[in-house]
Structure 1
C-alpha cells in the first residue's frame, strides 16, 4: 500500500525559534554524517546537486530546489555518496511545543492555556511537509541569506528581525491545502514581490502590470490578509530596511534613502520620523551613542 508523504504537525504557541544555519558544499563522493537526537529540527534546502539521505529507514533523494525537514530525534545519514558537487542551506530550529510526524496533517491540542475572556491569539498547528519541491526558491533563498547575514551583526534589532523572517520562511514551506484560497496566494505573491523590490521604483501601475489586476483589487486582497495596501506594506519594508542601514553602515542619508527606494530625501525623512519619532540622522546618532556606551 502506498502511503502519502510524511508531514510534521507542530503546535503553536509557542512558535518555533531559529537557532543556527549555514550554507555547505559537498564535493563528489562525500557522505553526510550520521546524526541522532539533535534536539532540534533541521531544514535542508538543496540549491545544486542531490543529497541522498536516510531517516527512520526511509531513503530521500533531495534534488535542486527541494527541501527536507529532519526530525530532532531520528537517526539520519547518507545512503549514497554525492554523485556531483552538492550545495545546500541548513537551518536548525527549536521548539518546546508538541509535535507529531504522520502521513496526514494532525491538528494538535496545546498545553499552553490561553484565557478565553479577552482578545487572544488562536492556537495554531503548523504543517511542514517532510520532503517537498519548492516553487518559490528565489524568495526562500533570499530570506535565508538575509537571516544568515543578520547573524553576523549579533544585535537585538536583527534578533527579532530574524525570528520574523524565519516565521515567513516556515509559512512558505508550510503545506499548501487543496482548498488554499487563490486570493491568499495572490496576496503572498504580492508580498514576495515587494520584498524583492525594496530599492526599485514601484507604484500602482507597476503592480497592476506585474499581476494583471487593477490596483484597487490588489489593495483589497492585501488588506484582507495583511491589513494594509501594497504601497503601505512596501513603505513599511523600506523604512525597516533604511533603519537597518543607518545602524549597520556609514552610508550617507542620501545613499540610504535612494537604496531603500525613496525618491527624495525630504519624503524619506518625513516617513521615517512618523515611524521612529526621530529624523534619520538623530536615529543614527542616538543608537550609535548607545552602542558606544555599551
Structure 2
C-alpha cells in the first residue's frame, strides 16, 4: 500500500496552532493508543525511532521525519522504542475544508484567485531539520505563555512551519509551476484594468503561452483568462458595494470595454445583474 499521502487544507481560514511539547521516550517506551483525538497530531523525530500506525498504515519515524496524524482515526504504537527517542509534537486544527488523498490524485480542493490550497505530505523527511528544531523550540516556549502577544507569536511560528512543509516536499518541476502561476497571477492582478492577452502575458514572463496556461491550471484550476475574469468580477463586486458609480463606470474601472457584456458576465457569475447585486447589499 502506498504511503504517498497528501493532506490539503483550503485557506482561508488558516489551520491554527493549539499546543505543543517535546517528549523523550526511554527504550521500551511507546506512543499512546488514541481514537478520534479531534485534532491533527504533527510529529517530528529528533533522535531515535518512533514506531506508529494510523488504522492499517504503519511507519517507522527516524530523525528528521515528520508525520501528520488525522483527527478522526485510530493512532497506536506498533512496537516499543529500541533506544531513547526524542520527538516534538504539535496539535493543530482547521475550521476550513481539508482532505487526504493519494499522492497521485489531484483531490477536490484547489486554490483560486483569492484562496490557497496548503498541501502537506502526510510523511516526509525535512531537508533542513535544524531550522525545524529551532521553530519547534520557539513554539514550545511560546506555548508556555498565556499572554496576548504569545498567541500571535505561536500562530506565526506555526504558519512558518506549515509554509516550510508546504514548499519543502515539492519536486523542482512542481515548484517551478507554482512560481510561474504566482508570477502570472501577480501580473494579472496588477494590470486587470487594461486589456491583457495571452501573448502579452507570455512576453512579460518570457515563457510560452501553453506553459503558463498549464501552470495556472495546475495551481489555480483555471486558465490565465479565466483567472483574469474572476478577479475583475470580484473587484466589480467591491465597487458596486463601496461606491455609487454607474454600472458603466464600474465596468470600465474593472477592465470591461462594453457595459452589456459586463452585465451578462456578472449575472452569469453571481446569479443576478449588477444593479440587483448592489441593491441587495446597500438597502
Normalised-by-shorter TM-score class: 0.5 to 0.7
Q: Is the 8 A contact 1:42 1:90 kept in 2?
A: yes
Query: Which aligned runs of 4 or more in structure 1 are off by greater than 2 angstroms?
Result: 104-107, 181-184
Match of 1:158 in 2: 150
Show the 5 A alignment for 1:219-230.
none
- CA drift of 1:142 comes to 0.6
- CA drift of 1:147 comes to 1.4
Match of 1:249 in 2: none
Q: How many residues align?
A: 174
Rounded to whole Å, the distance in 1 between the matches of 2:133 and 2:107 is 28
Is 1:141 the counterpart of 2:133? The answer is yes
Q: Is the 8 A contact 1:34 1:76 kept in 2?
A: yes
Cα RMSD after superposing both structures: 2.3
Rounded to whole Å, the distance in 2 between the matches of 1:59 and 1:151 is 30
Rounded to whole Å, the distance in 2 between the matches of 1:4 and 1:52 is 15
Rounded to whole Å, the distance in 1 between the matches of 2:178 and 2:59 is 33
- CA drift of 1:56 comes to 2.0
C-alpha offsets along residues 44-73 of structure 1, whole Å, 9 cap, x if unaligned? 000000000111201101001111000001
Match of 2:107 in 1: 106
Show the 5 A alignment for 1:208-247.
none
- CA drift of 1:172 comes to 0.9
- CA drift of 1:182 comes to 11
Match of 1:277 in 2: none
- CA drift of 1:107 comes to 4.9
- CA drift of 1:109 comes to 5.8
TM-score, normalized by length of structure 2? 0.57
Which consecutive residues of structure 1, in runs of 5 or more, have no partner in the other structure?
Answer: 115-120, 185-294
C-alpha offsets along residues 87-140 of structure 1, whole Å, 9 cap, x if unaligned? 100000011112111113535169xxx9xxxxxx72111111111101111111
Match of 2:46 in 1: 47
Show the 5 A alignment for 1:10-159.
10-104=9-103, 105-108=106-109, 122-159=114-151
TM-score, normalized by length of structure 1? 0.55
Rounded to whole Å, the distance in 1 between the matches of 2:134 and 2:110 is 34
Rounded to whole Å, the distance in 1 between the matches of 2:92 and 2:178 is 30
- CA drift of 1:167 comes to 0.6
C-alpha offsets along residues 211-269 of structure 1, whole Å, 9 cap, x if unaligned? xxxxxxxxxxxxxxxxxxxxxxxxxxxxxxxxxxxxxxxxxxxxxxxxxxxxxxxxxxx
Rounded to whole Å, the distance in 2 between the matches of 1:66 and 1:136 is 11
Rounded to whole Å, the distance in 1 between the matches of 2:66 and 2:93 is 18
Rounded to whole Å, the distance in 1 between the matches of 2:177 and 2:133 is 24
Which consecutive residues of structure 2, in runs of 5 or more, have no partner in the other structure?
Answer: 180-283
